[in-house]
């Protein structure tokens, strides 16, 4: 088997399409090499080796050693150097690279192949002793940290003390002799820690680094990242070994990162940062403040440090020619890593760049209008879940604000929260339902869980491409980076900025679009959705097959949803109307009344309220279908709790309080979720649904009479398990309809249907469809009843299931295709068999989840219904699933 794919020297074994095998980095390095771009030669060890390694008790497959040796020899041939040679040494980097970019993975090791002897060879060969020893000390530091597990702080401390003793402020002041002394101290520190010297054998170094990459696939950071991003464990990572090029060879050398368009706004402008005489991660680590790529952005930043465009105009021109080539080749915005060695440009990575939702929309629209991609491709380019960011609030321009400090606008959106300083604290407080702001000097992959839990993130150091910025944009968290005057107390007792002190627990607000940080909580406002957003949505609407409705019961929510493009209401929960303060008393009167006639009297008081509710709602939704679900929750939920409340109800009903108390006790249930609720209420107390149906139809008739434009009421019966339940209730509903139409002197179209939310209903959907004109899948309850678990109680075990991988995703967030999905499929098939044009929809929260929406498309549902703010997400997801 071929375990290794070579690249460089103008050709490559792999290509972009092989990312599953080669990982994203390896596949794109191969592609760039084939395109004739300057890529240092190297090779990729495939993800299959990783999978085999774990399947096989952490043993490598036979033949891998030989293939690695041959690949090293190949690289030696291309660059004309030898790995481990004392006079002409080849140095390599060892880089991890999974299919999806994964910040939890092993850090890259640079300058591998250096030891006490080869470093002398490198010094002679380059004629630059300082450079050689600088490279060696970097290698010891990185290799020790990443492969040997010795914390990098040990080395930073040694260097800091060394510099302090000599009054140095910058690394550039260090001479070759200085580095040699530091290296001696580094080596001693390693030996103290490990009990053996820093490995001098270059083969041992190479395999140590390869092992570390494969091992990092199963470290906690990677596992957390995979869990949060739904990346399967079975994918594995690849390892890239690549000849080194050096950005730290003096003032004509540099290293940098760039985007072919602005990742924050989507603007068609080159965007990037670089550092002269630096290597690898220096730019993103926030150690020195990087310089801007272009003159324009340097001026915008108000910086006096020359941009690359100004400092190295020739190389800059070469670089932007590469940008253009890559962007038209990949037909998408690229995120690029490059190094300049003594004036010569080298490409070290390219990938489709991460971007904010705003940028995603702008780039998709621009690329389409530039003729690079089609409308359908543009629709596919925007991640529906990311639209959520745009629906996020921004600061109210009229709100008063108290500016504390300013950093870089790293990830848009406005957010307020209590100040915390550690990821663990952030997670803990967020778990208690508090909003927190994570404030850190800089972040690392170990902080991901805290960043996820936080409403926003502030860092004191780091640029727009720092870890904090990249991760926050991906997660849609507001983030301000590099707020340079923030000083965090080491003991976590607070931070200072702008001469003021902020304590943990104090409220601050950030604006991730401007980089501003404010004291206190600042008012926010909702965003406007036009321009690029509207264009992409219009293209999505052309493409999608399924309709998108909303779950709404108030006119305000219905209006919002219509504004977002909802095409009807898929679920109007009538019980919400019962909880209203001035109605709950009447509802309780009705429930606690022992006789039919007393109940009817109470219901008669409720009727006008309900009718007015529906009238208002139907006005908003004129011309569209509205599914109204008849009363669903257990009566239990409406019961008065205290003696005073019972007395109040009894007084209003003119009844005896003691009698009501008895009845309340009778009505309380051990397991209300599976108790006296849904259609079971209507079988025992038919008058409740009769009142509701009357209210719905009277309201619909009134709206039709007033406007000439009616809604189409779809009357939905919840919690049906058996055909006989629906058959009985449908007869009563039709009876009420006949009465109402006779009284009003007009008729209108209405439908009667049912929720499918019990497994028995799904399995007998063919007979239920004899009476149901539509099914709406109530997948929240269907998930509860199919799994036999109560959502309210699942908090104590479901998180463990997910963490341990017993279940991959929360079934209440993403529909469980295997089980619950099968019930949906069965019910859809059986329903259509009986009634070929039966209308099918989903109204559980899954209706707003893109993955679940894709499933709904596969089953061929007619519509999905979701909360108002998820309507745009559902429109886009529905379009993507239809393509
Ligand atoms: P990450 O996945 O964290 O971005 P990379 O493997 O891309 O890690 O390595 C990080 C940085 O290290 C690169 O951007 C580049 O600057 C530097 N680097 C990696 N390999 C080489 C190499 N062969 N020569 C010079 N620099 C390298
Ligand atoms: Mg990289
Ligand atoms: Mg339900």
If asked whether residues 783 and 733 sit together in one domain, one would say: yes
Question: CATH number, domain at 464?
Answer: 3.50.30.10
The interface pTM score, or ipTM, of the predicted complex is: 0.96
If asked whether residues 592 and 728 sit together in one domain, one would say: yes
- Whether residue 136 is contained in a domain is answered as no
Q: Residue 764 has which token pair?
A: 């007998």
> Ligand 3 centre and the CA of 776: distance in Å?
10
pLDDT for position 137: 96
Q: Residue 840 has which token pair?
A: 């099918």
Q: What are phi and psi of 434, to 5 degrees?
A: -95, 155
Ligand nearest to the CA of 679: 3
Please report which residue ranges of 56-201 form alpha helices under DSSP H.
64-79, 116-126, 129-146, 152-165, 176-194
- CA-closest residue to ligand 1 atom 3: 107
Q: Select from 339, 342, 465 the residue to mutate for testing ligand 1; criterion: most ligand atoms less than 8 Å from CB.
A: 339
- Whether residue 474 is contained in a domain is answered as yes
Local structure of 42: helix, strand or coil: strand
- Whether residue 118 is contained in a domain is answered as no
Neighbour count for residue 215 (Cβ, 10 Å): 14
If asked whether residues 674 and 709 sit together in one domain, one would say: yes
778 is annotated as contributing to ligand binding: yes
If asked whether residues 492 and 599 sit together in one domain, one would say: no
Q: Does the CB atom of residue 110 touch ligand 1 within 6 A?
A: yes
- CA-closest residue to ligand 1 atom 7: 349
Contact by Cβ (8 Å): 266, 366: yes
If asked whether residues 317 and 420 sit together in one domain, one would say: no
Domain with 796 in it: 544-882
> Ligand 2 centre and the CA of 160: distance in Å?
27
Q: Does the CB atom of residue 762 touch ligand 1 within 6 A?
A: no
> Ligand 2 centre and the CA of 469: distance in Å?
15
- CA-closest residue to ligand 1 atom 26: 280
> Ligand 3 centre and the CA of 758: distance in Å?
9
Question: CATH number, domain at 772?
Answer: 3.20.20.60
Point out the residues that are catalytic.
Answer: 467, 843
If asked whether residues 743 and 862 sit together in one domain, one would say: yes
pLDDT for position 145: 94
State the closest ligand 1 atom to the C-alpha of 349, by its place in the atom list counted from 1: 7
Last residue of a domain, one of 490, 525, 560: 525
Neighbours of ion ligand 3 (CB under 5 A): 757, 778, 781
pLDDT per residue as tens digits for the range 112-130: 999 999 999 999 999 999 9
- CA-closest residue to ligand 1 atom 20: 93
> Ligand 1 centre and the CA of 108: distance in Å?
6
- Whether residue 724 is contained in a domain is answered as yes
Q: In total, how many domains does the chain have?
A: 3
256 is annotated as contributing to ligand binding: no
State the closest ligand 1 atom to the C-alpha of 337, by its place in the atom list counted from 1: 14
If asked whether residues 590 and 635 sit together in one domain, one would say: yes
If asked whether residues 808 and 691 sit together in one domain, one would say: yes
Q: Does the CB atom of residue 821 touch ligand 1 within 6 A?
A: no
If asked whether residues 474 and 570 sit together in one domain, one would say: no
Contact by Cβ (8 Å): 785, 764: no
- Whether residue 226 is contained in a domain is answered as no
- Whether residue 418 is contained in a domain is answered as yes
Residues 6+ apart with CB under 8 A from 616: 555
Burial class (CB in 10 A: 0-12, 13-18, 19+), 454: buried
pLDDT for position 286: 66
Neighbouring C-alpha atoms within 13 Å toward the C-beta of 656 = 5
- Whether residue 314 is contained in a domain is answered as yes
Ligand nearest to the CA of 776: 3
Question: Which residue positions in the chain have pLDDT lower than 50?
Answer: none
State the closest ligand 1 atom to the C-alpha of 281, by its place in the atom list counted from 1: 11
**pTM (2 decimals)?**
0.80
Q: Does the CB atom of residue 551 touch ligand 1 within 6 A?
A: no
If asked whether residues 291 and 319 sit together in one domain, one would say: yes
pLDDT for position 413: 85
Residues 6+ apart with CB under 8 A from 751: 712, 713, 714, 715, 773, 774, 839
């Amino acid at each position: 088997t071929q375990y290794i794919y070579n690249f460089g020297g103008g050709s490559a074994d792999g290509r972009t399409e092989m990312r599953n095998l080669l990982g994203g980095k390896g596949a794109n390095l191969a592609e760039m090499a084939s395109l004739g771009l300057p890529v240092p030669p190297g090779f990729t060890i495939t993800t299959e080796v990783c999978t085999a390694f774990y399947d096989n008790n952490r043993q490598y497959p036979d033949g891998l050693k030989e293939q690695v040796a041959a690949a090293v020899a190949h690289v030696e041939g291309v660059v004309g150097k030898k790995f481990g040679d004392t006079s002409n040494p080849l140095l390599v980097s060892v880089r991890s690279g999974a299919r999806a970019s994964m910040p939890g993975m092993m850090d890259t090791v640079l300058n591998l192949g250096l030891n006490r002897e080869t470093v002398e060879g490198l010094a002679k060969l380059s004629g630059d002793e300082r450079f050689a020893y600088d490279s060696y000390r970097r290698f010891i530091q990185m290799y020790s940290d990443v492969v040997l597990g010795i914390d990098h702080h040990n080395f930073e401390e040694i260097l800091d003390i060394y510099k302090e003793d000599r009054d140095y402020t910058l690394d550039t002041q260090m001479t070759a002799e200085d580095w040699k002394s530091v290296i001696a101290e580094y080596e001693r520190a390693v030996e103290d820690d490990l009990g053996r010297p820093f490995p001098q054998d270059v083969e041992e170094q190479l395999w140590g680094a390869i092992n570390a990459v494969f091992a990092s696939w199963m470290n906690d950071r990677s596992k957390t990242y995979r869990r949060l991003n739904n990346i399967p464990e079975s994918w594995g990572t690849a390892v890239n070994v690549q000849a080194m090029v050096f950005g730290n060879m003096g003032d004509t050398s540099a290293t940098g990162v760039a985007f072919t368009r602005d990742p924050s706004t989507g603007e068609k402008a080159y965007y990037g940062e670089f550092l002269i005489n630096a290597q690898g991660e220096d730019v993103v680590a926030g150690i020195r403040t990087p310089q801007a790529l272009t003159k324009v952005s340097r001026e915008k930043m108000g910086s006096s440090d020359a941009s690359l465009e100004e400092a190295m105009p020739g190389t800059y021109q070469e670089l932007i020619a590469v940008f253009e080539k890559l962007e038209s080749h990949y037909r998408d915005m690229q995120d690029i890593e490059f190094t300049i060695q003594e004036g010569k440009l080298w490409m070290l990575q390219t990938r489709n760049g991460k971007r904010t939702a705003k940028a995603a929309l702008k780039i998709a629209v621009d690329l389409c209008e530039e003729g690079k991609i089609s409308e359908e491709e543009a629709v596919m380019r925007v991640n529906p879940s990311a639209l959520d960011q745009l629906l996020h609030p921004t600061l109210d321009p009229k709100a008063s604000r108290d500016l504390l400090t300013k950093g870089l606008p790293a990830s848009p959106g406005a957010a307020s929260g209590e100040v915390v300083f550690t990821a663990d604290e952030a997670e803990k407080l967020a778990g208690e339902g508090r909003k927190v702001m994570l404030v850190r000097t800089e972040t690392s992959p170990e902080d991901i869980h805290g960043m996820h839990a936080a409403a926003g993130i502030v860092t004191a150091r780091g640029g727009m491409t720092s870890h904090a910025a990249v991760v926050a944009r991906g997660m849609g968290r507001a983030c301000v980076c590099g707020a340079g005057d923030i000083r965090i107390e080491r003991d976590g007792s607070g931070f200072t900025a702008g001469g003021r002190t902020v304590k943990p627990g104090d409220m601050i607000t950030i604006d991730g679009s401007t980089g501003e940080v404010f004291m206190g909580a600042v008012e926010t406002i909702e965003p406007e959705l036009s321009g690029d957003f509207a264009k992409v949505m219009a293209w999505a609407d052309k493409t999608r097959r399924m309709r998108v409705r909303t779950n709404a019961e108030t006119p305000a929510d219905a209006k919002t949803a219509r504004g977002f493009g909802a095409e009807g209401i898929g679920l109007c929960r009538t019980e919400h109307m019962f909880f209203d303060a001035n109605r709950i008393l009447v509802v309780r009167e009705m429930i606690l009344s022992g006789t039919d006639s007393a109940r009817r009297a109470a219901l008669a008081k409720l009727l006008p309220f309900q009718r007015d509710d529906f009238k208002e709602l139907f006005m908003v939704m004129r011309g569209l279908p509205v599914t109204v679900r008849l009363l669903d929750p257990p009566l239990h939920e409406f019961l008065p709790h205290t003696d005073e409340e019972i007395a109040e109800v009894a007084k209003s009903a003119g009844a005896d309080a003691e009698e009501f108390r008895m009845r309340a006790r009778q009505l309380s249930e051990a397991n209300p979720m599976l108790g006296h609720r849904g259609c079971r209420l209507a079988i025992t107390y038919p008058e409740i649904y009769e009142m509701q149906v009357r209210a719905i139809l009277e309201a619909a008739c009134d709206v039709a009479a007033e406007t000439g434009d009616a809604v189409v009421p779809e009357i939905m019966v919840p919690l049906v398990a058996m055909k006989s339940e629906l058959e009985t209730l449908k007869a009563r509903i039709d009876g009420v309809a006949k009465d109402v139409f006779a009284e009003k002197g007009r008729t209108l179209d209405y439908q009667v249907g049912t929720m499918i939310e019990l497994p028995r209903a799904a399995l007998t959907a063919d007979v239920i469809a004899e009476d149901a004109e539509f099914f709406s899948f109530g997948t929240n309850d269907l998930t509860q009843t199919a799994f036999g678990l109560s959502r309210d109680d699942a908090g104590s075990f479901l998180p463990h299931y997910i963490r341990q991988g017993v279940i991959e995703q929360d079934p209440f967030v993403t529909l469980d295709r295997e089980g619950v999905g099968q019930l949906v499929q069965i019910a859809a098939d059986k329903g259509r068999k009986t009634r070929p044009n039966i209308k099918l929809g989903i109204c559980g929260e899954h209706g707003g989840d893109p993955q679940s929406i894709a499933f709904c498309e596969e089953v061929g549902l007619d519509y999905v219904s979701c909360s108002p703010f998820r309507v745009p997400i559902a429109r886009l997801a529905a379009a993507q699933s239809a393509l």
